[in-house]
Structures are given as structure tokens and as C-alpha cells.
């Protein structure tokens, strides 16, 4: 019997191919063993072994579109990982179990640990590190932490947030990866955008007060994981909202006290064919026509709106009142109604948001407010009497309380 091993490789492979041609009656185990032996002998110099089952992929074994990446053997994926920086390596560990396993490989972490300067760590830390013999990754991780602590305590790193000033005429901010775009007064024109490049390891940035941008970062941060943006509304208020949570949907409409002008009424009457009274009582706040009216007529509709776009993921924002106090508005509580305290002001800020995530800031006078409140009250009672769904939620509850 001919032992495959004593055949010249070329002949074995020819025979293999012939068998495949004849009727694909191939002893796959034998074939893969031959090919595997063949590969082992000439061991690829990348340090990457060929996978054993290469020969098993035959005609008809179509690779599933969703699983084709699995056909790359771990050794090759490991080789790919050698081109990744530490942050990317940490990130791919969160992809799947397979990636986690590969990204923990000592081959990837040992050089990183060895390259880190041990001298920066005190004796106690070194002793602690010496007890950690589970993996190079863990060693590297602990070492980094220790180094960071050392540097902070030595005053070499300032862990406090850094800040920079925004221009006085800043009107809006947008967030694009590691860049903040600031639109100035005439923010419709892109050429006026001022761009601030954030540090590569920026982890978070928030806007505080009206003109100070804070951002903080950590060593070995993975990426910018959270962003907060802010808007100034006139002179009184700024809001701050976060991308970290899910979206909020708040209605807009006449029940919330929008004083619709004659022009607005005309628009609605023309579009819906309803009378003013019908509109006020029956039209839901997120009625597309009403939202459309706001978009189309803007200030002319009587709302004197300032429109701020909120990211779809936003779930809360902070409103700073004119007295400097901050109010956190969270989605599960719905957007808050103006309080009695605010009604003492000449102008009140009423926040409304439609499902396209546009935040409207409405400024109305006290007189207009009282008028609107009366209407709300009557509507609210009607709703209660009819035992229908309380569509007005917390808004009316808050108002009731403030009246008491």
C-alpha cells in the first residue's frame, strides 16, 4: 500500500485533484490530513497555521452570507489584531465570545505590558502585579491603572475636566465624532461654523453655563461614549441633553398654551376645515397639521418659536432657569410644564417637543398664559368627565397642584 507520506507532495496533490474530478468521491479526512501535513511541513512564516478543514470546502458548500467571516481561522484573526491599537482591541472584545477570546491572547498583550514603563510604579504595586499571573492583558490593565494613579498623585496628570471658551455669539452646537461644530449667530450658513477638535481620547464633553465647554477624558478610554450638547435660548436658559439614553417624544399643540394668531387659525381652518373651538378641543398636540403649521408659519403662527434639534437618542435634558437653578427633564416623566414660580416672570418658557425631536421654546406673556391655562383647565375637566385617556399627563397634574 502506498503511504501518502512517501509520495512527493506534488503527486499526492495531483491524485487528490484527480479524485475530485472523477466524481468528488473524496475521502475528505484523508485529503485534509494530506494537505494539513503538507502545510505543516512548510509552516507559514507569519506564524499562522493554515486551517485543517480548507479542503472540505467543496462545490455546493455555499458559505452563508452571515457566517462567512467565521471561515477565517482564529490564527489569522489574531494576526489581524496585531494591527489594532489598544483601544480597538478592547472594543472588539465586546463583539462576540470569539473576538473576546482572541483579543485576550497573550501574544497581543505581552509586548504592550513589557513596553510600559515599570519604573513609574511603586514597589507595592509591583508586588501586586507580580502576584497576577493569569494573563498579560490583566497585568497590562492593572499596570495602567497603577500608573494612572501614580501620575495623578504626582501631579503629572490633571484628572479634572478641561475647558475651553465658546464664542459669545454661539447659537448651537453639533457633535460629529471628535469634533464639535459651533454655529454662530448666522448659523444657517455653514461657513460660519467654528470647529473644535476634541482630544482623541475624549470621553465626555458638556457645556456648562453659557460659554464654557468642558470635556474630560481618561487614559485608555475606548471612544467618546457620551456627548452632551447645549443650546442657549435668548438670555435666560440653556438646555443640556444627553445622547446616552433613548429618545423622548413630546407633543406640541394648542393645549399647551400656544397662542395661535389669526394667521395660524386661518392656516388650520384652511387645512383641516375645522373651527377654532374644534381645533382647540379636538386636535391632538402631535397632530401633523399642527406641527406643519409651526414649521410653515413659525413666528407668524403666534408661537415665537425657537427650534432646537434634539438627537433621537436624547432622553433627558437639563433646563437652567433664570434664577440659576437647574431642572432635569426626563423622558419617563415627560417634559415638565412651566411652574407657578416661572409664571411670575414676565415671560415664561414653555418647552414642547414633537415626535420629530424638535424642541420648541415658546415665550408667552402672563396674560396670554392665564388665558391659556383657563382653556387647559376646561379641556382637562372635559376629558375627566368623559372618562377618556388623560392625554395631558403630568402637565395638567402639575398645573392643578400649582393652582392649589
160 lines the binding site for another protein (CB under 8 A) = no
Give the shortest CB-242-to-another protein separation in angstroms. Answer: 10
CB of 45 to another protein, least distance (A): 7
Site for another protein in 137-156 (CB under 8 A): 141
Q: Which stretch binds another protein (CB under 8 A): 213-221, 302-310, 384-392, 396-404?
A: 213-221
Pick one of 122, 220, 370, 400: the residue that binds another protein (CB under 8 A). 220
Main-chain phi, psi angles of 212, to 5 degrees: -125, 130
196 touches 179 (CB < 8 A): yes
Q: 237-266: which residues touch another protein (CB under 8 A)?
A: 243-244
Residue 55 within binding range of another protein, rule CB under 8 A: yes
Which residues of 299-367 form beta strands (DSSP E)? Answer: 306-309, 316-320, 326-330, 347-353, 358-365
Nearest distance in Å: CB 151, another protein: 15
Smallest gap from Cβ 14 to another protein, in A, equals: 6
Q: Minimum distance from CB of 206 to another protein (Å)?
A: 15
| Inter-residue contact 38 to 46 (CB < 8 Å) | no
Distance between CA 191 and CA 341 in Å, rounded? 41
The residues, ordered by sequence, that sit 6+ positions from 275 with a Cβ below 8 Å of its Cβ are: 269
CB 319 within 8 A of CB 326: yes
Interface of this chain with another protein, residues 9 to 28, rule: CB under 8 A? 9-11, 13-14, 16-17, 20-21
Site string for another protein, 89-118 (x = CB under 8 A): -xxxxxxxxxxx----------xx-xxxx-
The number of beta carbons lying within 10 Å of the beta carbon of residue 362 is 23
Cβ at position 381, least distance to another protein in Å: 44
Please tell me the total number of residues recorded for the chain in this structure: 404
Q: Which stretch binds another protein (CB under 8 A): 85-93, 187-195, 277-285, 370-378?
A: 85-93
**Gyration radius of the chain over CA positions:** 33
Give the binding-site size for another protein (rule: CB under 8 A). Answer: 67
Task: List, in sequence order, every beta strand (DSSP E) within 16-104.
Answer: none
SS3 content of the chain, % helix, strand, coil (to 5): 45, 20, 35
Judged by beta carbon, residue 41 or residue 404, the one nearer another protein is 41
Please state the φ and ψ torsions of residue 388, each to the nearest 5 degrees.
Answer: -95, 175
DSSP notation for 201-212: TEEEEEEETTTE
End-to-end CA distance of the chain: 103
d(CA 370, CA 348): 11
| Candidate list 66, 130, 133, 385; residue touching another protein; CB under 8 A | 66
- φ, ψ for residue 107 (rounded to 5)? -55, -35
- Closest distance of CB 182 from another protein, Å: 23
**CB of 53 or CB of 340, closer to another protein:** 53
Binds another protein (CB under 8 A): choice among 74, 88, 135, 272: 88
Residues that bind another protein (CB under 8 A): 8-11, 13-14, 16-17, 20-21, 35, 39, 41-42, 44-46, 48, 50, 54-55, 57, 59, 65-69, 71-72, 76, 79-86, 88, 90-100, 111-112, 114-117, 141, 218, 220-223, 225-226, 243-244
Amino acid at each position: 500500500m502506498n503511504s501518502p507520506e512517501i509520495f512527493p507532495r506534488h503527486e499526492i496533490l495531483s491524485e487528490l485533484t484527480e479524485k475530485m474530478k472523477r466524481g468528488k468521491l473524496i475521502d475528505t479526512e484523508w485529503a485534509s490530513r494530506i494537505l494539513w501535513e503538507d502545510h505543516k511541513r512548510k509552516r507559514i512564516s507569519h506564524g499562522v497555521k493554515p486551517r485543517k478543514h480548507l479542503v472540505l470546502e467543496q462545490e455546493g458548500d455555499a458559505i452563508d452570507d452571515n457566517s462567512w467571516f467565521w471561515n477565517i481561522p482564529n490564527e489569522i484573526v489574531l494576526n489581524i489584531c496585531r494591527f489594532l491599537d489598544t483601544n480597538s482591541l478592547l472594543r472588539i472584545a465586546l463583539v462576540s465570545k470569539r473576538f473576546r477570546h482572541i483579543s485576550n491572547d497573550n501574544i497581543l498583550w505581552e509586548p504592550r505590558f513589557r513596553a510600559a514603563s515599570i519604573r513609574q510604579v511603586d514597589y507595592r504595586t509591583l508586588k501586586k502585579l507580580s502576584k497576577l499571573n493569569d494573563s498579560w492583558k490583566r497585568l497590562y490593565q492593572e499596570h495602567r491603572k497603577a500608573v494612572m494613579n501614580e501620575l495623578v498623585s504626582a501631579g503629572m496628570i490633571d484628572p479634572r475636566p478641561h475647558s475651553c471658551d465658546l464664542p459669545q455669539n454661539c447659537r448651537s452646537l453639533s457633535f460629529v465624532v471628535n469634533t464639535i461644530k459651533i454655529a454662530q449667530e448666522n448659523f444657517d450658513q455653514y461657513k460660519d461654523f467654528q470647529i473644535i477638535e476634541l482630544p482623541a481620547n475624549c470621553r465626555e464633553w458638556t457645556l456648562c453655563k453659557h460659554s464654557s465647554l468642558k470635556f474630560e477624558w481618561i487614559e485608555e478610554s475606548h471612544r467618546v461614549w457620551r456627548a452632551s450638547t447645549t443650546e442657549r435660548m435668548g438670555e435666560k436658559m440653556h438646555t443640556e441633553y444627553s445622547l446616552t439614553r433613548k429618545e423622548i417624544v413630546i407633543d406640541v399643540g394648542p393645549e399647551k398654551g400656544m397662542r395661535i394668531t389669526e394667521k395660524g387659525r386661518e392656516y388650520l381652518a384652511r387645512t383641516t376645515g375645522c373651527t377654532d373651538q374644534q381645533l382647540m378641543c379636538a386636535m391632538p398636540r402631535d397632530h401633523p397639521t399642527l406641527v406643519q403649521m409651526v414649521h410653515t408659519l413659525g413666528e407668524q403662527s403666534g408661537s415665537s418659536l425657537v427650534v432646537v434639534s434634539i438627537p433621537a437618542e436624547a432622553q433627558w435634558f437639563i433646563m437652567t432657569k433664570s434664577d440659576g437653578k437647574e431642572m432635569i427633564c426626563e423622558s419617563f416623566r415627560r417634559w415638565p410644564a412651566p411652574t407657578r414660580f416661572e409664571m411670575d416672570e414676565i415671560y415664561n418658557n414653555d418647552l414642547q417637543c414633537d415626535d420629530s425631536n424638535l424642541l420648541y421654546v415658546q415665550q408667552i406673556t402672563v396674560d396670554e398664559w392665564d388665558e391659556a391655562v383657563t382653556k387647559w383647565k376646561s379641556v382637562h375637566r372635559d376629558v375627566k368627565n368623559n372618562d377618556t385617556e388623560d392625554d395631558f399627563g403630568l402637565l395638567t397634574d402639575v398645573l392643578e397642584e400649582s393652582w392649589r
